[in-house]
Structure formats: C-alpha cells, structure tokens
C-alpha cells in the first residue's frame, strides 16, 4: 500500500455502490483489523454484526440520519456496543466496565479502522448513523446494547456524481497550549 | 509503509516515553491526516490543541481515568469538540449541527487517524481520556466545548515493561444478520 497519509486522504464516503459483492475473505480481513482497535481500558465493548439481507440493508440505510444514497452497499457491518461492558454512568471505569461516553468514543475506533482497511483492499465504504431503535430491532440486539453507527462496504459505481471533498484548513483548527476562547 | 493490516495491528498504547521531542514537521503531518478524518455530516466539529508545556501534560495525564504512565509523552494533542457545531439534542442533525452522541463518535475518528499516522512515521502514541473539567481549564476551552479524549505522542523507551496486547477472538465477536440475544 501507499503511505498512510495518502490512504487516510483517499478514504471517502461512497454514495453509489455497484452490485458487486464483497467476498467473505475480504470481510474477514476487515473484521480482523477491527478486532485490533483500541478501546477504553481495552474493554473491547463490541459485537460485530454482518448484514447482507437486502431488506435489512435498505431499512437500515433509510433510517439513517443523513446520507444521500442512491444505491445500497451490498454489506453493512454494525459494531454494536455490548451492554455487558457499559456502566450506567457517563464516564470512567467501574468493575471493568466503561461509561457510555467512553463506549461511544471506543466504538468509533473500529469504524475508522474498517474504512481504512477496506480502502487498502480496494473496497469502498460509507459511515452511517442509523436510527438506533430501528437498528436494534433489525439485528435483535439486547435492550442494553447500543447500535449508533455502522459501515457499508462495497464497490463504487464508476462515472457517477461525487460530492467534492472539503475540509477546513489547519490554520483555522490548530491552537497552541490554549484556545483563544470565543465566549 | 507496510500494508494497513500490519500498521493497525502494530499501533499500541505506549506507557513509557523517552524525552525525545516530536518535531513540529511531524506533528504537522499528523494533524494534516487528522484534518481529513470523517465526521457526521462532514461537520468537522473539532479544534486541535497542541500541548507541550510539561506542567500541563502532567496535569492532563494525572487527571485521566485510566492508564498507567510512568513517563510523560512530550506532546499531547486534544481534539476538542467545538461547541459551535453541536446541538442540545443527543442525535441527528439540525442547522448543520450534530447531536452530542454524533460529536463523540466523530471526535474519535481523528484520534484513530493520528495514532495510525504517528505509527507510520515511527512515532509512538497513547490514547487518554482526561477529566473534562481539568482539561477544559488547562486549555481555556469555551463552556460549550467538550474535551473528552486526547492523544499523547513521543518515542517509546526501549527495554521497559510492556503489557501483553490481548484481543477477543473474532469467533466470539461476529454475528450474521442478527445477534443471538442474551436477555
């Protein structure tokens, strides 16, 4: 692969997927990298649900808060926050369990890793935030589980509309030692 | 660089840092990759605060919820959630602003990217979750900002204690279509 800076730069949201399937071998490679993600106190508070059923994919994507999808990804992976690893508090660690804020911060790590691993394998991706109740119903999650983010994987359709990728400049974002506060 | 699977596998928490500084050129490369991270609705709800002042670093690390640090990293970067980009609700998008849950999920993306970019440049890292009130005071954050996670960067001391890196097996983590619920 190229250097990491290029990989991270080229990873992007794909809005139109072809109907080409992602092989189980490649899905496994992506999950293997997800498995090594960091998490608060190495709690690994996740279960990975692989979804290929077309009606489930459509319902999950349609329930998502934003995203402008014309064609569905052939596979979605939901890293579910396993309720057995979270406390009722928002922060910190208790009896090897982490607060919900830490669980949210942790669950994003395998999402980022999966998108990057996919890109390195020539697979395109999108990150989506499903309606949680819908997602939990579809995957039969436990009451105490959380399903707040997911990744779609597939191959981009060629010659279709692409949003221009834009980012703020570093000069607008970086502070040294303290923030010049605006309040 | 090696393939991404190897990079993601080799990234780890460093507990003991040498006193070697990280050059501004390398810090900039790491921030440049952070800048291209994904975020809900491409809101980029972050400001990056670079901290090199030793007393600030010690106070930030000491306030963190977990981590067993014997020596301090020479630099910490805090991706602060900019209060101007979040709504009062937990989820979804309103007027180009995202809910707090989405902001937490988003802010973890540059953390993962920075750790991976650091590793690809031969720099070691640690992810820490500071006490938010302490962190906000040190960096003079706005009331509505959130400072819940940060990354320490530096070079690992050689021949020191290392935790064994452990992860659950994929076979314990992966489900197809639905979770066999335990409740």
Q: Is residue B87's pLDDT more than 80?
A: yes
B4/A117 CB distance under 8 A: yes
Question: Within a domain: residue B15?
Answer: yes
Tens digit of each residue's pLDDT (9 = 90 or more) over A4-28 = 999 999 999 998 999 999 999 999 9
Beta-sheet strands, E only, within B4-154: 46-51, 75-81, 93-94, 97-98, 124-128, 150-154
Q: How many domains does chain B have?
A: 1
Question: Within a domain: residue A169?
Answer: no
Reported as a pLDDT band with limits 50, 70 and 90, residue A1 is: low
Q: Is residue A143's pLDDT more than 90?
A: yes
Residue B92 has what pLDDT? 66
pTM of the predicted protein model: 0.95
A75, A62, A69: which is closest to A19 by C-alpha? Answer: A75
Q: From CA B53, how far away is CA B122, in angstroms rounded?
A: 23
Indicate the range of A66-75, A112-121, B17-26, B134-143 predicted with least confidence.
A66-75
A42/B183 CB distance under 8 A: no
B103, B175, B178: which is closest to A31 by C-alpha? Answer: B175
Q: From CA B89, how far away is CA B100, in angstroms rounded?
A: 7
Tens digit of each residue's pLDDT (9 = 90 or more) over B57-74 = 999 999 997 666 778 999
Question: Within a domain: residue B172?
Answer: no
Q: Read off the CATH number of the domain in which A22 is found.
A: 3.40.109.10
B:10-39 residues touching chain A, CB 8 A cutoff: 11, 13, 28-29, 31-33, 35-38
Q: Enter the tokens of residue B93.
A: 């998008």
Question: Within a domain: residue A126?
Answer: yes
B:56-95 residues touching chain A, CB 8 A cutoff: 56, 65-66, 80, 84, 91-93
Please work out, in degrees rounded to the nearest 5, the angle formed at the alpha carbon of residue B7 by the alpha carbons of B5 and B9: 70
B105/A28 CB distance under 8 A: no
Question: Within a domain: residue B173?
Answer: no
Question: Within a domain: residue B145?
Answer: yes
State the distance between the two ends of chain B, measured CA to CA, in whole angstroms.
45
Search chain B and give the residue with CA nearest A130: B92
Question: Within a domain: residue A168?
Answer: no
Indicate the range of A21-25, A59-63, A179-183, B5-9 predicted with least confidence.
A179-183
B173/A35 CB distance under 8 A: yes
Characterize the bridge pairing of strands B174-176 and A46-51: parallel
Min Cα separation A156/chain B (Å): 18
B80/A117 CB distance under 8 A: no
Min Cα separation B159/chain A (Å): 23
B48/A173 CB distance under 8 A: yes
Residues of B in contact with A2 (CB under 8 A): 1
Q: Are A108 and B108 in contact (CB under 8 A)?
A: yes
Tens digit of each residue's pLDDT (9 = 90 or more) over A86-103 = 987 767 667 778 899 999
Q: Is residue B182's pLDDT more than 80?
A: no
Percent of chain A scoring above 70 in pLDDT: 94
Q: Compute the half-sphere exposure of residue A181: CA atoms within 13 Å on the CB side of its CA.
A: 14
Domain assignment of residue A77, given as a range? 4-159
A40/B65 CB distance under 8 A: yes
A:117-156 residues touching chain B, CB 8 A cutoff: 117, 119-120, 127, 129, 132, 138-145, 148-149
- Summarize the confidence of residues A144-151 as an average pLDDT: 96
Question: Within a domain: residue B22?
Answer: yes
Q: Enter the tokens of residue B138.
A: 């040190």
Q: Are A90 and B104 in contact (CB under 8 A)?
A: no
């Amino acid at each position: 692969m190229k250097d990491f800076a290029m990989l991270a730069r080229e990873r992007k949201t794909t809005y139109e997927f072809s109907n080409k399937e992602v092989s189980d071998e490649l899905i496994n490679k992506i999950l293997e990298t997800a498995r090594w993600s960091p998490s608060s106190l190495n709690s690994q508070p996740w279960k990975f649900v692989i979804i290929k059923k077309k009606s489930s994919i459509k319902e999950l994507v349609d329930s998502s808060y934003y995203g402008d999808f014309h064609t569905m990804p052939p596979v979605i992976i939901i890293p579910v926050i396993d309720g057995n690893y979270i406390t009722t508090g928002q922060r910190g660690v208790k009896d090897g369990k982490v607060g919900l804020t830490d669980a949210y911060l942790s669950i994003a790590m395998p999402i980022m890793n999966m998108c990057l691993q996919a890109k390195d394998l020539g697979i395109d991706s999108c990150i989506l935030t499903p309606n949680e109740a819908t997602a939990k119903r579809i995957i039969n999650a436990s009451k105490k589980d959380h399903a707040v983010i997911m990744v779609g994987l597939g191959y981009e359709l060629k010659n279709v509309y692409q949003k221009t990728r834009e980012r703020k400049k570093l000069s607008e974002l970086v502070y040294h030692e303290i923030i010049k506060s605006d309040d």
